[in-house]
């Protein structure tokens, strides 16, 4: 294994996982040759999980990652070779404890990478465009890749996660989870920033102009409108969560009326236990079932003794991440 060339590090694009296939499609459509590198199997410690993806362009541009050190250098070299030759290649790396830190496998172990050129004999160009269109509409995509050189095909049904099954690697990519924050309040400023850094797509909704301003939420999608008007135009799927933070029933309840009954992975509202009890009573009086009402986490956030707006935002985000990862708390 060789050290990763500095020119590749300097030219790396830092993109979220769900943006990588979109970027690959853009590169392809602007005339660039490229290869895809997938983590297909790991043993022991690994900084990147199975299903992680890296793009390597023919001119040396890189996006994404498959590990944290010289493994990537070897993968980039192999990818550049595949771009010229076409087809695919499996790379297996065994890492001893004494050299583990150098390659990003902190406790030693093994990692297998499948490098596949975007070509007729590898990952067909049409598959990238197909994937880009689906992900742009927040539709999960999946592919079955032959490890022994048989190319790739679109999966008709998706397994729950990316995994290696016999001689085929099933790659699954879901849209980045979307967090909708109702109420552009002080806590929301911290929560929106931290959730974005954690990899979530964030939208803040508030009908109050004083709060819903771009300068209070730099880099965040802020919508100045009532949530019941906005949420009807947003895909409320199982990769979406809603957190209501205004304490104002006119605003929070309007949002809850739109999302209860939808397959969101998390719904939470800020407020005291008394406020939450009154909220549940109003929703029950409005005709919502006990099952729907019971999905609301309230008061929002883990009980960590939070006092400041930033601390409360941390508690809310921690509970949200636990819900997304299916971790009981």
User: Of the candidates 248, 52, 245, 234, which has an alpha carbon nearest to the alpha carbon of residue 138?
Assistant: 234
Q: For each of the chain's 329 residues, which pLDDT tens digit applies?
A: 334 444 444 444 556 777 899 999 999 999 999 999 999 998 776 667 899 999 999 998 999 888 766 588 889 999 999 999 888 999 988 765 555 555 545 555 688 999 999 998 889 999 999 998 888 888 889 999 999 888 899 988 888 889 999 999 999 988 889 999 999 999 999 999 999 999 899 999 999 999 999 999 999 999 999 999 999 888 888 889 999 999 899 999 999 999 998 999 999 999 888 999 999 999 999 999 999 999 999 899 999 999 999 999 999 999 999 999 888 77
Q: Kindly give the pairing relationship between strand 163-165 and strand 168-173.
A: antiparallel
d(CA 239, CA 167): 30
Has residue 1 been placed in a domain? no
Three-class DSSP category at 75: helix
Residues 260, 185 within the same domain: yes
The range of the structural domain enclosing residue 236 comes to 178-325
Residues 143, 219 within the same domain: no
Residues 168, 184 within the same domain: no
pLDDT, residue 290, reads 92
Model's pTM, two decimal places? 0.73
Has residue 289 been placed in a domain? yes
Residues 218, 239 within the same domain: yes
Residues 188, 284 within the same domain: yes
Looking at 144, 173, 202, which one is the last position of a domain? 173
d(CA 132, CA 22): 5
Residues 25, 155 within the same domain: yes
Classify residue 243 by its DSSP letter: E
Has residue 278 been placed in a domain? yes
Residues 85, 217 within the same domain: no
Has residue 193 been placed in a domain? yes
Contact status, residue 144 vs residue 114, Cβ threshold 8 Å:
no
Residue 249's φ and ψ, nearest 5 degrees, are -55, -35
Q: How far is CA 78 from the centre of its chain?
A: 27
Contact status, residue 89 vs residue 147, Cβ threshold 8 Å:
no
Find the CATH number of the domain harbouring 308. 3.40.50.720
Instruction: Give alpha helix (H) positions in 117-248.
Output: 125-136, 186-197, 227-230
Residues 150, 260 within the same domain: no
pLDDT, residue 9, reads 43
């Amino acid at each position: 294994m060789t050290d990763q060339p500095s020119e590749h590090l300097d030219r790396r694009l830092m993109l979220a996982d769900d943006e990588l296939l979109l970027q690959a499609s853009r590169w392809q459509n602007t005339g660039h040759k490229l290869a895809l590198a997938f983590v297909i199997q790991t043993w022991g410690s690994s900084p990147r999980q199975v299903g992680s993806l890296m793009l390597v362009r023919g001119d040396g541009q890189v996006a994404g990652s498959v590990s944290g050190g010289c493994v990537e250098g070897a993968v980039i070299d192999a990818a550049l070779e595949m771009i010229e030759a076409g087809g695919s290649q499996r790379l297996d790396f065994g890492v001893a404890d004494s050299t583990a830190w150098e390659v990003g496998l902190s406790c030693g172990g093994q990692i297998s990478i499948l490098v596949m050129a975007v070509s007729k004999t590898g990952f067909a160009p049409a598959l990238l465009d197909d994937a880009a269109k689906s992900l742009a509409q927040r539709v999960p995509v999946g592919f079955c890749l032959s490890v022994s050189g048989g190319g790739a095909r679109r999966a008709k049904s998706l397994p729950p996660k990316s995994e290696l099954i016999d001689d085929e690697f099933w790659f699954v990519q879901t849209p980045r989870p979307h967090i909708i924050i109702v109420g552009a309040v002080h806590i929301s400023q911290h929560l929106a920033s931290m959730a974005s850094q954690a990899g979530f797509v964030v939208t803040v909704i508030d009908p109050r102009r004083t709060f819903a301003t771009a300068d209070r939420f730099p880099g965040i999608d802020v919508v100045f409108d009532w949530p019941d008007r906005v949420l009807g135009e947003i895909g409320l799927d199982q990769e979406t969560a809603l957190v209501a933070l205004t304490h104002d029933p006119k605003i929070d309840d309007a949002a809850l009326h739109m999302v209860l009954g939808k397959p969101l992975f998390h719904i939470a509202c800020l407020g005291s236990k008394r406020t939450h009890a009154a909220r549940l009573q109003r929703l029950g009086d409005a005709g919502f079932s006990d099952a729907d009402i019971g999905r609301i986490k309230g008061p929002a956030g883990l009980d960590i003794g939070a006092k400041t707006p930033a601390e409360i935002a941390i508690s809310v985000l921690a509970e949200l991440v636990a819900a997304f990862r299916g971790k009981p708390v």
